[in-house]
Homo-oligomer: A and B are copies of this chain.
């Protein structure tokens, strides 16, 4: 038993070291790597991925995990937890043949290239045959895993363990109805017609200054994190004490860099808050789901960063940084600009209210693709029709529609819902913190986030993946995923803003 335990802990440690190296390769590629470095970088990344895959699926590792599983009662509580988690993860990885992994890498690389070509030509037909292959891959994958229930449950499980299509259908139906109800009222309002322009220019230096203030207030530790620049913002960890975020300063409004920095800092604080102690360098020191990860970023971005109280502190800071622009922008006007609702085509540019409709649209299409109720060739049409139904806007072409992002080319079907799950969780977390801490609003007004971070650490971060995401939320907030809480929040907030 001792030998097997030593082996599995050493293996987890090595996987974590290899994972950190892979993260650095990826981070550098997106931030500083000179363009001609791409060729060698892809080989470096491939080597590290192969090493990691070989370690996870090695027969020796599996043998030791099985030995321990067969004697699970003789283990300490900690070892039991680790072994159970490992068994589940490794068993799943071993179900997938390595020729599938290789084939999958090739097909998705080609699909990404044809997605790029399709975008250049604004022609979905260029992408369609490769997307067909990606969908076929996803179905083949479900065949290997052989999960009970619909295929989509199997895919969901990779990103949001424990979540089911049925449960999501229920929550998303309620959420969709709720958002559309609010949206229709807003669209019919006087305030909606007179909405001001939200774009304004601010130098990179000033944007950076604002971003640095907010991450300092959020207590993102300087000695174990960094803020850099990349085309698309992201968070990555190359060590327990080295978690980095990025933003972009070249978007039409400085609110993009500001909110994306808050969002990514939320992810980074979660990563830095993972259980160390006895679970350091084990599979337990990880998020149980992408949805829970997203709850942390969306919490800081929306619940905190788009609140009135938050801007009581930051409006003067912005005003001082861009005095000319703010000359004619009162606090109230600014708060409305920050929270302006404006149905649009692109998910990543969506406002807080309509954002989840973009996600639900993908969920409806993805489940249809997996159930074979929707075919690839119908996608452009179905996309347009759903956009019109939900948001009341119709993309004039596929660049604004089905070709808008690369996600499907990579085969990550089942991943989109996590954006909405995280958003719903974030509202539940906010409600619970408000109940637990009667000074919450005044703390936010002073950009004093110590207690908020403390709550998140204790109730979310420190659990790692000792429970699944929904159980962590149940334990923290008294109930699992509940979109009613989020719809209530949206109504309270937007009825006030649009004076409904």
Contacts and interface: CB of A to CB of B under 8 A. Distances in A.
A482 interface: no
A162 to B, nearest CB: 30
A28 B28 CA distance: 9
A221 B35 CA distance: 11
A39 B241 CA distance: 8
Stoichiometry, as copies per complex, reads 2
Contacts of A37: 224, 238-239, 241-242
B240 A34 contact: no
Interface string A36-47: 110111011001
Interface size class of A (residues with CB under 8 A): 20 to 34
A296 to B, nearest CB: 20
Nearest to A21: B44
Given A34-B226, A47-B17, A239 B40 contact: yes
A40 B240 contact: yes
B21 A48 contact: yes
Given A28-B28, A224-B34, A241 B40 contact: yes
A251 B222 CA distance: 24
Interface in A1-52: 14, 17-18, 20-21, 24-25, 28, 32-37, 39-41, 43-44, 47-48
Given A223-B34, A241-B34, A40 B24 contact: no
B47 A18 contact: yes
Interface in A220-279: 221-226, 228, 238-242, 244
A21 B34 contact: no
Contact of A238 (B40, B240, B242): B40
Given A28-B24, A28-B28, A241 B36 contact: yes
A242 B36 contact: yes
A327 B39 CA distance: 49
Interface string A400-441: 000000000000000000000000000000000000000000
Contacts of A225: 34
A24 B27 CA distance: 11
Closest 8 CB pairs of A and B: A40-B239, A37-B242, A36-B241, A36-B224, A36-B223, A35-B223, A37-B239, A17-B43
28 contacts: A17-B40, A17-B43, A17-B44, A17-B47, A20-B40, A21-B25, A24-B24, A24-B25, A24-B28, A28-B28, A32-B228, A34-B222, A34-B224, A34-B226, A34-B244, A35-B223, A35-B224, A36-B221, A36-B224, A37-B238, A39-B239, A39-B241, A40-B238, A40-B239, A40-B241, A41-B238, A41-B239, A41-B242
